[in-house]
């Protein structure tokens, strides 16, 4: 078999798969509306305002409702999603104002 035949066949298969991908995406888009129905109903019924994607801190759980986006407001190491988070070091942990930890009894 000529090399060009094999090459054109491989490109043809890849192009066919690419077209199949576009068709699959379109079909999925239609069925997605049906699959999304329970979530959409819940959002409407409960008056939800945010997606449950980032639950690590208040302002990431409800970015649309949060205080004016205060960094590290939940936990000294709770990462924020703002550029300042990569420049501003998190506060020392445990805080210098925190009471000293209870004494650990020595192992007999």
Structure tokens at 10: 């491989």
Torsion-angle region of 47 (φ positive above 0: left; ψ -120 to 50: alpha; else: beta)? left
Q: Where on the phi/psi map is residue 93: left (φ > 0), alpha (ψ -120 to 50), or beta?
A: beta
Looking at 21-29, 87-95, 100-108, which segment touches another protein (CB under 8 A)? Answer: 21-29
CB of 102 to another protein, least distance (A): 17
# chain residues binding another protein, by CB under 8 A: 54
Angstrom distance (rounded) from CA 35 to CA 86: 38
Encoding tokens for residue 19? Answer: 């077209």
Question: DSSP assignment, residue 56?
Answer: S
Q: Does 47 bind another protein (CB under 8 A)?
A: yes
User: Rounded to the nearest whole angstrom, what is the least distance from the CB of residue 71 to another protein in the complex?
Assistant: 14
Under the criterion CB under 8 A, does residue 18 sit at the interface with another protein? yes
Is residue 97 a contact residue for another protein (CB under 8 A)? no
Binding site for another protein (CB under 8 A): 2-4, 7-8, 10-11, 14-15, 17-18, 21-22, 24-25, 28-29, 31-33, 35-36, 38-58, 60-65, 67-68, 74, 79, 81
């Amino acid at each position: 078999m000529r090399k060009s035949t094999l090459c054109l066949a491989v490109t043809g298969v890849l192009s066919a798969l690419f077209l199949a991908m576009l068709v699959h995406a379109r079909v999925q888009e239609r069925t997605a509306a049906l699959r999304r129905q329970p979530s959409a109903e819940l959002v409407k019924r409960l008056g939800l305002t945010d997606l449950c994607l980032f639950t690590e801190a208040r302002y990431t759980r409800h970015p649309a409702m949060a205080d004016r986006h205060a960094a590290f407001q939940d936990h000294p190491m709770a990462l924020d999603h703002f550029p300042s988070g990569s420049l501003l070091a998190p506060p020392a942990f445990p805080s210098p104002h925190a009471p000293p930890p209870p004494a650990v009894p020595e192992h007999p």
